[in-house]
Structures are given as structure tokens and as C-alpha cells.
Structure 1
Amino acid sequence: MSPKNPSFVLKSIKDVTFEERPVPKIQNPTDVLIRVNVTGICGSDASPFYPSPVHYWQHGRIGDFILEAPMVPGHESAGTVVEIGPKVTSLKPDDHVALEPGVSCRRCPFCKAGEYNLCIDMKFAATPPYDGTLAKYYVLPEDFCVKLPESVSLDEGALVEPLAVGVHVVRKAGVKPGDSVVVFGAGPVGLLCCGVAKAFGATKVIAVDIIDSRLEFAERYAATGTFNATHSKNPNVNAAQIIKLFDLEFGADVSIDASGAAPSINTCVHVLRTGGTFVQVGMGTTEIAFPILKLCAKEITLKGSFRYGPGDYKLAVELIASGKVMVKELITGRVKFEDAEKAFEQVLNGQGIKTLIDGPLD
């Protein structure tokens, strides 16, 4: 093992560098030392719950999380086990793993209730003051490392993180065989929500966006139909068109917003049938005008979705391994570790869907 840990470091707004940092040590008997082989970069909307390294790079903060000291970005990673603590039983050196980047306290009421994604003392990679995974080595507890079967590549392993977000959303929505699902926003998370909904048995999966190229990809990827929301500025009109075009009778069973855009959020309410379910995952402005009367009159169930919880990472790996959800198609760019800033620039400029950064070489 190399005695050095080359790391990509965000020092301040638009100021990055490479540093040789100490190799992290196993502190607890159930810890695992991992060599990070590949990391995905997301350009998700600013949110204290879903850290975008690109946003920290451009603005130095997301909500109340402020970059006050140099930080290693990155949280969508897969790697190879290098060393294990003495009480690790499920992993061994050379195993390939997907890294779940948020380590919960295990003691708060939410952790004890099995909702560790709501932990009040979460230590999430690349969220100040915690370093992320854009380094050669990273340490995680055994139970936050999900072993990849031989059929799942390390590249696919890096996409387990955003897929787990989609799994959590679709589980929250309660999607079941025969359901109709409308997904607003055809970025990585929205596309993966489409893929998971289809894998869960939804027979109609409609992707909605304002960019034709995204919609064309969505239809090739997992959507059974697409709709360009520039059709009308009126959410009610767009909802009526979606219902008519895709023969949704009284409306969709489930709507999911992965855009964070106020018009999409409003259309989510209008497009649902009475008694339908609406899940919000996209992050936009802090407050929006909302059709509350429709929500009440139609007895809609409204849920927020926050990262991923128990079982979501493992199910994401199983969906990839079984071929029920394909993630390789989302990979549209790749750079070497020493060119990491180029990946940030590509995402900032809206190039492609998912860019990967290779881990440092020996």
C-alpha cells in the first residue's frame, strides 16, 4: 500500500489543488480501508441534504453548510478493500464495494427507529466539515460498504449512490405493478426514478422536462412516454395534456418531482388522480406557491424524500446485477484524477449526464 494519499482539495470558491495527505487509519474494529477507484460527479440543485461538489466549488456553501476550511469533495464512489478491522466479517481485501457516504450516529431516535437517513448527527462525505471521497484512500464502517458482485463493475458501483436515491423515492411512493408514474426532471435522479419505477412494475412511466435532448434520452432509457413542459406556462393545462396524451383516465397514480422547479411541483399535484401519491426529491427555492386546495380536495399523499435509508443501497446493487436497471448508459464522460477539475467544468456547463473521475494511479 502506498504511504501517501493523494487528494483533490477544494480550498475555497473556485480554488482547487492536489495534496498528499496521510492515509486514513482504521480507528474502530469494524472499519474498512478502501482504495477509491472511481467517483461520479453530480450537478444536483443546491441542497443541504444532497451535496453537490460543483455547487461548493462555485459558491462555497449549500444552505447552512459553509466551506470554512479546505475539503475533499466527492461522494459517489466505488473502490477496492485494502484493509479490514479485526471484527469485520462480511468483507475481505480485494473485494469491490460501493461506498455509502453518510455515516449515522446509530444512537439518536431516528437511527433507533430505522430511519438513519434522518440522523441528527449525520457525517456525510463532502459536507463541511467532513472530507469526501476524491482521494486515493477512504475509511468507512463495514455496514456502509456494499459488496459488488462480480457482474457489477466499479463504474456501475459509483452510480449506486444516485440509484439509491431513486430507489428511496420510488419506495416512498409505494409504486406497484400496473401503476402509472409521471416523473418531472430528466436529470440523473429523474432518469433513475424512471428506471426504478419500471423495475417495480409500473406500466406507464412518463418523463417530463423542458429540454428535448433529455426527453429523447429518457425515452431510450426507461420512460414509456415523454412530455415537454414548455407546452404551456399553466401547470393545470400541462397536467390535462399529460393525462390526455397518455390515457391516464382520472390521472396518474404517482407523481415525482426531481426538478425542484415550481411549475413542475404544481403540475405534480394537478396530474394525479384522486388519492394519488406525490413525492418531492428535487430541490429548488426555499418557498413556492402551492395548490393546497387541490391537494386537500383530491386527498393526495405528499411525501418528501431524503437521500436513502435502510436497504436502499443493497437493493440498488441488486437492481444493477439483475439487469432490471441499467446505469452504464448514464456515463457520458470520464477524466483522469489529475484532471478532476475538468469534470467539474463539464458538469457546470451541462455536458452529458454523468461524469466519472478515475482514482489516483500508483
Structure 2
Amino acid sequence: MTSKNENLAAVLFKANDLRVVNKPMPPPTRDDDVLLRMGRVGICGTDLSYLSKGKMGTEPIVLGHEAAGTVLQCGANVKHLKPGDRVAVEPNLPCHRCEYCMTGRYNLCQLITKVFMSPDKGNLCHYYRHPAAFCHKLPENVSLEEGAFLEPLSCAVHAVRRAGVTLGVTLGTRLLICGAGPIGVLSMMVARSMGATRICITDLNKDRLSLAKQLGADSVIHVTPGRTEKDLAMEVREKLGGRQPNVTMDCSGAEASIRLAIEATESGGRVALVGLGPREVKVPLVDSAIREVDIFGVFCYANDFKDALELVASGRVNVKALITHRFPLVEANKAFETARSGAAMKVVIACD
């Protein structure tokens, strides 16, 4: 047990220097904010990237952005929440004034604040202050663990929408997903709930493919060294009943994965780039052009949290099936080492 005023937090001081330290309590709650007692926080690939490469600025940063907690205090203007409510935290805070924000695409806001990029804004801690408008109340049948999954699940909802998984297809979408990490598997589950009829997923990791198969993939392909894009594309066609996917989602970001996505997708199809990899990659753009394969980007989410919550609350998407490891906050270093070892699908840290 920790004292009421102890605000332990997982703080990154420099590359591979993560410490659990006691931070000052958040300042008094502003009129539009709530003070939260954090409950569960998931470890994301972005967190692991920061751990390996170091923080962006000169100050130490508090990690964590996939989170859920319990309201302790509400600002004077907060009407939709009260102390005791459990909420999921939407961590990206747009400016509310630019053209992107005003047209509903606030994920593209150039002035957006990402909590995991600001010194004291991460939520892998005991106590955390956040704008109430970006705290989504959880119904009784949704746990804090599931609430912490709404952030990555919202990414998947946004990606599947951008991919248009039922676009122009009478009987549903033949979908290829490259990458069976958390976002890839969540995208698979969302796509299934939104009408995809045949789903094939690829990965280097057999264990992740096995889990993807258990959670609803029709077929899986283990990508091994030496296999060519054409060879893999032929296997994708075989797995999808002799037809190419009309939609492909690359959830890896790796150059080889993006090349496979373009090679495998049928002429006139769509390729959604969901995973974030190197800034520059070499891909067959001319091939995609002459076959009219549309390639487009996907970034974060915008107005997707409520739909993600509905998928969980209704039981259509079982996010808890992805959790392979759980740790208390005081063991944050062990949690992060487990996450980047490749042995885990999803690691969740208990902050309470």
C-alpha cells in the first residue's frame, strides 16, 4: 500500500534509464479537468521506442498513454462525470481551433498535445489530471483493464474505417493484415465485426499468429527468412480461396511488409498504412499506379473512442484476450523488459 499523497510514476530520464520515482501531486484541478486515480495502463510500442531511443527533450518524461482510472475530483465546469466514475483516457489533446479540429479530423491537428511527449503528461502514475472532455465514462460491465485498451482499439477502429473494409464488395471484404501485433490483431477483430468475410494475417512470430487464429483469423501465414514477396502473395491468394485481398492493412511498418501489401492486393484494391516504421522505405509505386491500387495513411484516431467502447461493452471485441502479462507499477522496469523481449502480446501495469 502507498500513502494517499504518494504519486509514484514511471519516469524515463534517458535511453534505457526508467525509474519509478515519487512525483509531486498534480496541481489543483482546473474548471474543465478531472483528477484521476490511475488504475490500469498498457505498454505500447511507442513507449518501447522511447525507452530504447530516449526522450525527445531535455526533461525526464512520465511514460504511458493507454490508460483508465477513477475520478477523484471534478472541475467546476464538469457535468458528465462525478467522483467515483471510472473512465478511459483519450490522451491526444487537439487545439479545438484549427481547420482540422473544426472539421472533425482532430488527429491531424498540428498543435495537438500528445501526453507521452510532454514531461509530466504521461499517465503511468498514481494520480493524473486530464481534460474531462477526453475522459470516457465506462459502463459497469467494462473493467479498468478493458478501459485501458480503448486507446489502441480506437486506433484499430479508425484504421478499419479508413480501409473501408466493405467498400464496393457485395458479400464483404477479403482482408489481408500484415503484422499480428496488438494493433494488427485488434484491427482483425474490428474488421470482422464490421463485415470482413475472409481475413488472412501474417507475422514473423508463430505465437502471435496462433493467438490471431484463436481470435478469429480465417488463415495465418508465418513469414520466414528467404521467402519472396511473390511467393508470399501467392500463398495469400491460396488462403483467401483463390482470390487476392481487395483490402490490405499493413500494421507492421516494415519495408518488406509494405511491399508485400502492395504485391498481394488485387488491382483496384486498397492498402492502408497503419504501422509506423522508417521515415523512408522503398516500395513498388509504379506497380501500384498501373494497377490502381490506392495507398493511404492512417494516423491515430478521431471520434473513435465511443465506438471502441461500444465494441467492448457489447462483447463483440474481447480485448482482454490479448493481455499476456500483468505487473504492478513498482515493477515497471520488469514490465517494460518483458514487453520488449517479444515474449508478450500485451503488458498491462496496475497503478492502484
TM over 0.5: yes
Report what 2:42 is aligned to. 40
Cα RMSD (Å): 1.7
> Secondary structure of 2:324's match?
strand
TM-score by length of structure 1 reads 0.91
Please give the secondary structure, in 2, of the residue aligned with 1:208: strand
For residues 131 and 164 of structure 2, the distance between their equivalents in structure 1, rounded to whole angstroms, comes to 30
Q: For residues 225 and 67 of structure 1, what CA distance do their matches in structure 2 show? A: 43
Q: Which residue of 308, 313, 319 maps to 1:321?
A: 313
Q: Deviations over 1:198-240 (max 9, x none)?
A: 0101111111112222111110012111112228532122112
Q: TM-score, normalised by structure 2?
A: 0.94
- Give the superposition deviation at 1:323: 0.9
Structure 1 pair 166–133 and aligned structure 2 pair: CA distance change class (3 A): same
Task: Check if 1:252 corresponds to 2:245.
Answer: yes
Matches within 5 A, 1:281-320: 281-310=274-303, 312-320=304-312
> CA–CA distance in 1 between the matches of 2:299 and 2:88?
19
How do 1:100-111 residues align onto structure 2 when only pairs under 5 Å count?
100-111=90-101
Identify the residue that residue 180 of structure 1 maps to in structure 2.
174
Corresponding residue for residue 7 of structure 1: 9
Distance across 2 between alignment mates of 1:86 and 1:255: 47
Pair 1:56-2:46 in alignment: no
How far apart in 1 are the matches of 2:291 and 2:224?
26
The answer on whether the counterparts of 2:19 and 2:333 sit within 8 Å (CA) in structure 1 is: no
Hey, what's the Cα distance between the residues in 2 that align with 1:248 and 1:146?
43
Matched residues in 2 for 1:3 and 1:313: separation? 31
Kindly report which structure 2 residues correspond to 1:259-270, keeping only aligned pairs within 5 A, or say none.
259-270=252-263
Which of 210, 215, 219 is equivalent to 2:213?
A: 219
What SS does the aligned partner of 1:149 have?
coil
Aligned partner letter, 1:212? K
- The runs of at least 4 aligned residues of structure 1 exceeding 4 Å deviation read none
Aligned counterpart, 1:148? 138
* Counterpart amino acid of residue 183 in structure 1: I
Q: Match for residue 21 of structure 1?
A: 23
| Aligned residues between the structures | 346
Partner of 2:129: 139
Report whether the alignment pairs 1:355 with 2:347.
Answer: yes
How much has 1:163 moved relative to structure 2?
Answer: 0.7
The residue number in structure 2 matching 1:206 is 200
Matching residue of 1:112? 102
Q: Report the residue type matching 1:21 in the other structure.
A: K
Q: Which moved more, 1:148-157 or 1:106-115?
A: 106-115
1:67 and 1:307 map into 2 onto residues whose CA distance is 22
How many angstroms apart in 1 are the aligned matches of 2:214 and 2:207? 11
What's the offset of the Cα at 1:248? Answer: 4.6
Structure 2 distance, partners of 1:194, 1:305, is 15
How many angstroms does 1:109 deviate by? 2.0
1:290 positional shift: 1.1
SS for the counterpart of 2:231 is helix
SS, match of residue 6 in structure 1: strand
1:298-356 Cα deviation digits (max 9, x unpaired): 2122111111112x111111100111111111111111111111101101211211111
CA displacement 1:79-108 (0-9 Å, x = unmatched): 001111111111111111110111111112
Taking the aligned partners of 1:246 and 1:89, their CA distance within structure 2 comes to 50
What code does the residue aligned with 2:291 have? K
SS at match of 1:126: helix
Amino acid at match of 1:208: T
Residues 131-165 of structure 1: per-residue CA shift (max 9 Å, x gap): 30011111111221111111111111111111111
Whether 2:342 is the aligned partner of 1:340: answer no
Question: Any stretches of 5+ residues in structure 2 without a counterpart?
Answer: none
Name the residue aligned to 1:68.
58
SS of aligned partner of 2:116: coil
241 and 17 in structure 1: CA distance in 2 versus 1, 3 angstrom threshold: closer
1:193 is the counterpart of 2:187: yes
CA distance in 2, matches of 1:213, 1:4: 39
